[in-house]
């Protein structure tokens, strides 16, 4: 058995010794459109993403916020929440219905701080999205009929 392994080892060494490179090969593996595929993949990564921040100077307890928002939103296909900085968060959904429901059902709060969110576009960088405005409904009771016009509002 020991003799067999030494002859196999000698044959293998002889095979390696006979290997030569006559010419240098050019290129390598060229995949047509590989850069385009990478760009499309990067765009699709942000396809169902919201970037958001809370209106507060306090530090947000990220694990608590992550758990709370996921349980409030209950997206059908899940949500991945990442902290981009201490004040900026990325909310990645995996279906159009989930992200639309979150946007339409807002505004959202955590620890009594309002969350301002903006959907990312294909070319947007999360750090450069302006997060200064949000819209929300107000309800006014006992408003006289003469004051119920767009001009008065």
Instruction: Tell me the H-state helices in the chain.
Output: 2-18, 34-45, 62-73, 96-104
Q: Check which CATH number belongs to the domain holding 64 and give it.
A: 3.30.70.330
Residue 66, domain extent: 36-121
pLDDT digits 0-9 by tens, 32-50? 554 544 444 444 566 889 9
pTM higher than 0.85: no
Structure tokens at 83: 């902290």
According to DSSP, residue 151 is labeled T
The number of distinct structural domains making up the chain is 1
Checking if the pLDDT of 111 tops 80, the result is yes
Closest C-alpha among 91, 90, 87 to residue 60: 87
Q: Quick one: tokens of 59?
A: 């530090």
What pLDDT score does 25 carry?
56
Mean pLDDT across the stretch 61-70? 93
95 within some domain: yes
Q: Model confidence over 81-92: pLDDT tens digits? A: 999 988 899 999
For the record, the structure tokens of 73 come out as: 């939103």
> Which residue, chain included where needed, has tokens 């219905």?
97
């Amino acid at each position: 058995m020991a003799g067999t392994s030494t002859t196999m080892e000698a044959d293998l060494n002889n095979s390696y010794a006979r290997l030569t490179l006559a010419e240098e090969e050019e290129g390598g593996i060229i995949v047509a459109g590989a850069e385009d595929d990478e760009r499309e993949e990067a765009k699709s990564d942000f396809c169902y993403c919201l970037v958001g921040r809370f209106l507060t100077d306090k530090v947000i307890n990220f694990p608590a916020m992550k758990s709370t928002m996921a349980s409030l939103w209950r997206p059908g296909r899940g949500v991945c929440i990442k902290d981009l900085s201490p004040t900026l968060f990325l909310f990645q959904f995996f279906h159009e219905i989930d992200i639309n429901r979150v946007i339409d059902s807002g505004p959202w709060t955590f620890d009594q701080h309002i969350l301002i969110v903006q959907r990312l576009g294909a070319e947007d960088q999360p750090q450069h999205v302006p997060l200064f405005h949000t819209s929300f409904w107000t309800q006014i009771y006992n408003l006289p009929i003469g004051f119920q016009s767009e001009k008065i509002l």
